[in-house]
Amino acid sequence: MSKKRVATHLKWVRVARHDVRVAVSPGTGTGIPLLLCNGIGASLELLEPFVDEVNPAITVIRFDVPGAGSSPAPRVPYNFAGLAWFVTKLLDQLGYDQVDVLGISWGGGLAQQIAFQHPRRCRRLILVSTATGMIMIPARPRVLAKMITPRRYRDATFAMRIAAQLYGGRLRDEPELAGRLLHDQSRIGSRRGYLYQLGAGLGWSSLPGLPFIRQSTLILSGTDDPIIPTANARLMRHLLPRATLHLFEDGHLGLITQAELLARRVSEFVSADQ
């Protein structure tokens, strides 16, 4: 985008007795804000390159899920239904009645849950490099094994070593980029928080509910994504009543490594007919 975005405001918000770290990048327009739901173990800083490229007219909201980034881990585990309710309470505190929701990877599960469970709060849905939960076309076991622990967020050398096999796309040729993306500004959450995120997805599937999600939906999927094979995006496109599928030539972190291209596509989608 040619215009500069207004400076991001970082704040702490108290929600249901939990402190949540939030970043709000105010837009210059008056349209519906865009809420970003991040991938497992990732702090809100990871999506900074994408936010920088979103149309400056659009307000963008990010947050660290409890136990991820700087947000403290809750005392007890949670599931996607509970977290979706939690997000609506966060929006209440921020003063937003309705948002467009973008979820990437693990956050795509949360985004689907919000759209299904709280349809009035979610106007449009963007699903990036994500699938339908436990019932999906899985990655290879050796890929899934690397997702069990948050080591890639704690060890930059390890992140670079596994980048090609885990993330695919541009990181096959530029594995050093994984080290920068996951470590330069990112904040490391607790191991307990990471386990809670893993647990939230156990037994969860959006598959039965997809035909009942009525929001206009944009599905973005990389053609070289080892974690989420492209067939999952095609399945969601078939089951979601109002979905459009856009394939891009990159891997699992394409929202960041192809930030300018995908931010333009997302901006056009959420700005249409406003």
Condensed to tens digits (0 to 9), the pLDDT of residues 196-241 reads 999 999 999 999 999 999 999 999 999 999 999 999 999 999 999 9
Res. 5: pLDDT tops 90 = no
What pLDDT digit, counting tens, does each position of 179-199 carry? Answer: 999 988 888 899 999 999 999
Query: Per-residue pLDDT for 4 more than 90?
Result: no
Assessment of whether the complete model's pTM goes beyond 0.95: yes
Confidence check: pLDDT of 6 > 90: no
- Residue 175 has a CB neighbour count (10 Å cut-off) of 17
Pull the structure tokens for residue 30.
Answer: 């008056």
Using alpha carbons, select from 241, 249, 242 the residue that is nearest to residue 222. Answer: 249
Calculate mean pLDDT across residues 134-145. 95
35: tokens are 């809420």
Of 15, 11, 150, 133, the C-alpha closest to 80 is 133
Q: What is the dihedral of CA 156, 159, 161, 165, to 10 degrees?
A: -170
Is 129 a known active-site residue?
no
pLDDT score at 273: 80
pLDDT at 106 over 80: yes
pLDDT at 102: 99
The residue annotated as part of the active site, out of 25, 105, 129, 221, is 105
Q: Which residues pair with 36 in a beta bridge?
A: 102
What is the predicted pLDDT for the residue at 2? 44
Pair of tokens at residue 74: 């809750």
pLDDT of residue 1: 46
Q: How far, in Å, CA of 75 to CA of 88, rounded?
A: 20
Averaged pLDDT of the chain:
95
Structure-model confidence comparison of residues 32 and 188, the more confident one: 32
d(C-alpha 120, C-alpha 49), whole Å:
29
Q: Which percentage of the chain shows pLDDT scores above 90? A: 95
Cα separation of 95 and 72, whole Å?
A: 23
* Residue-level pLDDT at 3: 63
Query: Token pair for residue 251?
Result: 């891997």
- What is the number of other CB atoms lying within 10 angstroms of the CB of residue 201? 16
Assign 3-state DSSP to the chain and report helix, strand, coil percentages, each to 5.
40, 20, 40
